[in-house]
């Protein structure tokens, strides 16, 4: 299956915006599976997204 065909199946819009490597805005989040100061695990319209860092916060 071609890359384009595999990812065209995502129904809901989703995206990532990274500002100054300090603030990440994620759209299309369906669920927050877990989070702490070092990792955030999200279920998005495009699949699982794992963010790792230090002193992470969720708004």
pLDDT digits (tens, 9 = 90+) for 4-56: 555 555 567 889 999 999 999 999 999 999 999 999 999 998 889 999 999 99
Q: What is the pLDDT of residue 13?
A: 84
Q: Between 1 and 19, whose confidence is greater?
A: 19
The domain locations on the chain are: 3-52
**pTM score of the predicted model:** 0.74
Q: What is the pLDDT of residue 46?
A: 84
Residue 3: pLDDT band with limits 50, 70, 90: low
Q: What is the 3-state secondary structure (H, E, C) of the chain?
A: CCHHHHHCCCCCCCEEEEECCCEEEEECEEEEEEECCCEEEEEECCEEEEEECCCCCCC
Q: What is the pLDDT of residue 59?
A: 87
């Amino acid at each position: 299956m071609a890359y384009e065909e595999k990812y065209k199946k995502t129904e809901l819009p989703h995206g990532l915006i990274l500002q100054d490597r300090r603030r990440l805005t994620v759209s299309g989040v369906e669920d927050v599976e877990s989070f702490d100061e070092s990792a955030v695990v999200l279920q998005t319209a495009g699949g699982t997204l794992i963010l790792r860092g230090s002193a992470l916060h969720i708004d």
